[in-house]
Amino acid sequence: DHQDMEHGDRSARPHPVSQSELTLTGHSRMVTALCALGDGRLTSGSWDETIKIWNTETGQCDLTLTGHSGWVTALCVLGDGRVASGSWDKTIKIWNTETGQCDLTLTGHSGWVTALCAVGNGRVASGCKNKTIKIWNTETCQCDLTTLIGHSGWVT
């Protein structure tokens, strides 16, 4: 009834009901990061310290990536199709999504890595619990710029 909606009674509106198309199961602890690979696959990071690569058509886990020694809290896909993962172990790992091999490990944060973003030209930005951002060159394995500071809280 129109009059009910005018006065904020939302119970008169139909409530859409949707069901999950597919449920992906396999992590042993909470999932904290997701990233689409763009080829029908999905990556997930978890408190179980692993990254999984999923086939979103079948629901099967194609690869489990291991190597972090802390919770995986951030993921992003790089322009070349590799995946970057950030962890509470203070590292960023760059993974080959076909073989599951870790191509390189970036170190230099003094706190947990809580955010990642591909910025182009083989570079990745990482945010940290200590309120900083670093821009990394994945070809030279070096931090490209001076650490960016200015946030008053965690960069997530």
Regarding pTM above 0.85, the answer is no
User: Tens digits of per-residue pLDDT, 86-133?
Assistant: 999 999 999 999 999 999 999 887 889 999 999 988 889 998 887 888
Q: Between these two residues, 128 and 81, which has the higher pLDDT value?
A: 81
Residues in Cβ contact with 117 at an 8 Å cutoff, skipping those fewer than 6 apart: 76, 124, 125
Given a cut of 80, whether residue 5 has pLDDT beyond it is no
Helix (H) or strand (E) holding 6: helix 2-6
- Phi, psi dihedrals of residue 117, rounded to the nearest 5°: -155, 130
Q: Which residue has the tokens 């570079």?
A: 123
Residues in Cβ contact with 99 at an 8 Å cutoff, skipping those fewer than 6 apart: none
Please name the amino acid found at residue 18.
S
Given a cut of 80, whether residue 65 has pLDDT beyond it is yes
Mean pLDDT of 62-89: 96
Given a cut of 50, whether residue 58 has pLDDT beyond it is yes
For the chain, the distance separating the N- and C-terminal CA atoms, rounded to the nearest angstrom, is: 43
Q: Which residues of 41-73 are buried (b: 16+ CB within 10 A; e: fewer)?
A: bbbbbbbbbbbbbbbeeeeebebebebbeebbb
Say what percent of the chain tops pLDDT 70: 76
**C-alpha dist (Å) from residue 71 to 13, 22, 118, 156:** 42, 25, 20, 14
91 forms beta bridges with 107
Alpha helices in 64-135 (DSSP H): none
86 forms beta bridges with 74, 92
Residue 121 neighbours by CB distance under 10 Å: 10
